[in-house]
Amino acid sequence: MIGSILLLAMLQAPRADAVRPPEFPAAVTGAAVAPESIRVTRLVAAADTPVVRPRAIEYSDLYYTRLTIHRWGSYAMIPLFAAEYSLGQNLVQDASPPTWMKPAHGVVAGGVGVLFGVNTITGVWNLWESRDDPSGRTRRIVHSVMMIVSDAGFLATGLTAPGHHHGFTTYGDYLHREHVHRGIAIGSIALSTIGGGMMWFWK
């Protein structure tokens, strides 16, 4: 009798594979989220993200006019430098240079001064107009600093010219002033040539 009761109970009990566990949300069970829901979430996030567009930089017609003047001035700088250096070397090394050489040296020096004055005005003006343009900003600033330092160097070159000073106590004092004048001139020429060349190379 007891055996019949146990057999009947075993037959009525549900099988182990038929027992279903309770259903829980995916967040509780740690189940993976469907890939479709991830794609939908990303699309919604992308749609809500504002698109930042770069602001267009506009230059005036005068900017390009000044740029053309500045560029041609930089091209004219090289022959003037060559002429000024050659005249200066002859004045220093020749025992009796021709009478026209010293005035010619001064005329070419004046041409260099005028050229650098024009290029400084056009360059600084265009640098200010391009202040909001991030493209090539570092090169423009480095070029401008080098040329302004060259401006100061050429001014110092003129102020240290031996012909502007009289009353040297010794000939050695005169030679010292001549070497200082020449050194500042060569340094200014080299710096301005490098500054101009970097803009020729990078346009």
pLDDT in tens, 99-140: 999 899 999 999 999 999 999 999 999 999 999 999 889 999
Residue 27 pLDDT grade (very low, low, confident, very high; cuts 50, 70, 90):
very low
Mean pLDDT score, 30-36: 51
Q: Is pLDDT at 178 greater than 50 in this prediction?
A: yes
What region, left, alpha or beta, does residue 161 occupy, with left being phi > 0 and alpha being psi -120 to 50 degrees?
beta
Question: The whole model's pTM is what?
Answer: 0.67
Report d(CA 193, CA 81) in Å as an integer: 9
Q: Which two tokens stand for residue 58?
A: 């506009």
Q: Which two tokens stand for residue 138?
A: 């570092």
Mean pLDDT score, 154-159: 91
Q: Is pLDDT at 30 greater than 50 in this prediction?
A: no
Report d(CA 178, CA 108) in Å as an integer: 18
Q: What angle do CA 130, 81, 120 make, to 5 degrees?
A: 25
The answer to whether 77 and 151 are in contact (CB under 8 A) is no
Q: Helix crossing, 137-159 with 101-129: angle to 10°? A: 150
CB atoms within 10 A of CB 129: 17
Predicted pLDDT at 24: 47
